[in-house]
Structure 1
Amino acid sequence: MKIGSLPNIFKSRPLILVLTSLLLAGGGYAGYRIYDYTWNDPIFCKSCHIMETAFASWEKSVHVGVNCHDCHHLSPQEGMQLGYSFVFQRPSAVPPRHGKIIVSGKFCIQCHLERDEKYPQAVSIRASQFHEKHGFEKKIECSKCHGYKTHEFLPEERFCVMCHEGKEVHGAGMVELACLNCHSDRTKDLRPEREKCLFCHGSDEIRVQLIREERLDVKHFTPSPEKIKAAIKINIPADSKHQFDCYA
């Protein structure tokens, strides 16, 4: 067919420009949708069969509303390697970690210290002495205490003894308590201060006040009502001259 015999529709330069623009816009939109799905939709991560268990635990976790890539950051190269492995190698299990830190603490503090506007409800560690001591002074990775079980972010009652071995308590009534039932988030050395001891051994007013402050040690771990009731009560008048710490 000669050029001169082409239909008139192909001879209209404005129309060609319009069609080209529509084609580019459609391709750009399709590309954006593919990018958004692969990077911002957790369902895409579930499409890999070895992620089903991790996805199920994520759905039950406190991070259920958090996008996978907000914690699991991948470079473009890592993303391509992951995609190649999924399509061509079809692994049957998650590869061994070999001690690699999967989620760096620098991503945790974006929400829990610097306050990411995407997740304003994230619990702040700004006033926490526990995190000051372990995370910033000792440089311990967040995942050492949080998430050592897949997507289980709240520490267990005795998680401290994984590192702090061979510790003893001085009273039989304290043996079954969680570490944070006694250790305080208010002191620099994390030792119990008098108010923390009086949580069990003092009045209801002290317990109400500590709970109202919502510090992490009381927010996540409190002794059972039975333990509190069984604890010997110490009546210390507010105007007493003897206001020493229990461990002074």
Structure 2
Amino acid sequence: MSKPTASSKRFSMIALGLLFLAGIGFVWGVDFAIKTTNTTEFCTSCHTMKTNFAEYQESLHYKNTSGVQATCADCHVPKKLGPKLVTKIVAAKDVYHELMGTIDTPEKFEARRWHLANMVWKRMEASDSRECRSCHDFANMDLSEQTRSARSRHSAAEDKGQTCIECHKGVAHTEPTEPEATETVTSDAS
């Protein structure tokens, strides 16, 4: 076995250094992309999200007595990296459908709203309303400060292991009306 030459060692070190720098650049790029796409400005830059943004502005998640505001990402994007990346990849379909004209007008969006909302609700139920619970947790609720009805429902929901979204579907956006059974919903904006 021959000994590595000085020039081959130097080449290996340069290659390793370039690979290291490329890795840093990749991580920085992914971090920049995630932070940029997590802003409310980015989320509402598509024409179809203007309706959702107007609804959100009328909700307690936007403006309330405490001054605490939940952004689009707080409710729709997981905090942990793995689920966050999956969510970003899945959300790319919304950009695709905006560009392809499937949901690019308020009328087209409204026609798809029930289907789109159900996809979000199913994801939230599957994650046990993970994003809701990053701010709202049964253990941190002061039930004595809630109305009798809310206190009773939250206590029962905790006992049954229910997720937040099972009861709170129209919190920050208008809850869509289920289409008539005779209407067919195509899956072109899935």
TM-score normalized by the length of structure 1: 0.41
Asked whether the 8 Å contact 1:113–1:126 carries over to 2, the reply is: no
| Identical positions, percent | 20
TM-aligned CA deviation for residue 49 of structure 1:
0.7
Q: Match of 2:12? A: 13
SS class of match (1:112): coil
Asked whether the 8 Å contact 1:135–1:142 carries over to 2, the reply is: no
Task: Return closer, same or farther for 1:49/1:148 CA change in 2, 3 Å cut-off.
Answer: closer
Q: Find the aligned partners of 2:73 and 2:22 in 1 and give their Cα distance.
A: 30
How big is the alpha-carbon RMSD for the aligned residues of Structure 1 and Structure 2? 3.7
Determine which structure has the larger helix proportion and give its number: 2
Q: Of residues 109, 131, 155 in structure 1, which corresponds to 2:150?
A: 131
Matched ranges for 1:113-152 at <5 A = 113-114=137-138, 124=141, 126-127=143-144, 128=146, 129-137=148-156, 141-143=167-169, 146-147=171-172, 149=174
Q: Match of 1:52? A: 50
SS class of match (1:44): helix
TM-aligned CA deviation for residue 29 of structure 1:
0.8
Q: Find the aligned partners of 1:82 and 1:142 in 2 and give their Cα distance.
A: 23
1:112 aligns with 2:136: yes
Larger relative contact order (Cα-Cα within 8 Å, sequence gap ≥ 6): 2
Q: Match of 1:63? A: 61
TM-aligned CA deviation for residue 57 of structure 1:
4.2
Q: Match of 1:86? A: 98
Where does structure 1 lack aligned partners over 5 or more consecutive residues? 1-7, 117-123, 151-248
Which of these two proteins has the greater Rg computed from alpha carbons?
1
Q: Find the aligned partners of 2:90 and 2:154 in 1 and give their Cα distance.
A: 27
Matched ranges for 1:159-238 at <5 A = none
Letter in 2 for 1:41: T
